[in-house]
């Protein structure tokens, strides 16, 4: 081994190749993204989890959903008056329950009047216990 010759000996084509590798390396380093994120990434999972746990974010989401629902209701009421017009099924159920209530009420009144008539007949038909003679 000849250490003094080996250190100084380089082939000429190798010098150009090493320069090319170095230039490529410099180019990659300049165009590389930072390891620490200095920007906000909306699709970053950490930020999504952090925001989901954030109370203010949840409140904002609820407010936005409520706003969307209210807009949908407003648009629906523009086309038809939902409050003034009930479903036919609801009307028939309401009518049926009202008739049931009235029927039950009449039945109770009828029972009461029958009981009253029976009481009246019993009172009329009772023979007097005391006889007054003059």
Handedness of CA 109, 111, 113, 119 (dihedral sign): negative
Considering the domain boundaries, does residue 120 fall inside one?
A: yes
Q: Is the pLDDT assigned to residue 16 strictly greater than 80?
A: no
Considering the domain boundaries, does residue 114 fall inside one?
A: yes
Please report, rounded to a whole number, the percentage of residues in the chain having pLDDT higher than 70: 65
Question: Rounded CA gap, 94 and 100, in Å?
Answer: 10
Q: How many domains does the structure of the chain reveal?
A: 1
Considering the domain boundaries, does residue 12 fall inside one?
A: no
Considering the domain boundaries, does residue 99 fall inside one?
A: yes
CB 82 within 8 A of CB 76: yes
Query: What is the reported pLDDT for 18?
Result: 82
Please report, rounded to a whole number, the percentage of residues in the chain having pLDDT higher than 90: 28
User: Has this prediction a pTM greater than 0.95?
Assistant: no
Considering the domain boundaries, does residue 118 fall inside one?
A: yes
Q: Is the pLDDT assigned to residue 28 strictly greater than 60?
A: yes
Residues with Cβ within 8 Å of 120's Cβ and at least 6 positions away in sequence, in order, are: none
Considering the domain boundaries, does residue 101 fall inside one?
A: yes
CA 128 → CA 40, 56, 133, distances in Å?
Answer: 104, 87, 13
Considering the domain boundaries, does residue 78 fall inside one?
A: no
Structure-token pair, residue 113? 């009047």
* 2-29 average pLDDT score: 71
Question: Rounded CA gap, 126 and 134, in Å?
Answer: 22
Question: Rounded CA gap, 110 and 116, in Å?
Answer: 10
Question: Rounded CA gap, 59 and 91, in Å?
Answer: 39
Domain containing residue 116: 86-126
Question: Rounded CA gap, 87 and 99, in Å?
Answer: 19
DSSP-derived letter for residue 19 is H
Considering the domain boundaries, does residue 20 fall inside one?
A: no
Query: What is the reported pLDDT for 30?
Result: 85
Mean pLDDT, the chain, rounded, equals 77
């Amino acid at each position: 081994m000849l250490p003094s010759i080996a250190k100084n000996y380089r082939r000429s084509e190798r010098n150009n190749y090493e320069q090319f590798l170095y230039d490529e390396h410099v180019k990659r380093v300049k165009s590389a993204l930072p390891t620490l994120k200095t920007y906000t990434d909306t699709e970053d999972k950490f930020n999504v989890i952090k925001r989901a746990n954030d109370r203010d974010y949840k409140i904002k989401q609820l407010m936005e959903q409520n706003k969307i629902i209210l807009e949908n209701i407003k648009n629906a009421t523009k086309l038809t008056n939902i409050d003034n017009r009930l479903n036919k099924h609801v009307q028939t159920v309401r009518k049926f329950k009202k008739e049931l209530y009235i029927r039950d009420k009449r039945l109770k009144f009828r029972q009461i009047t029958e009981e009253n008539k029976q009481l009246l007949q019993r009172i009329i038909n009772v023979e007097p216990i005391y006889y007054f003679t003059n």
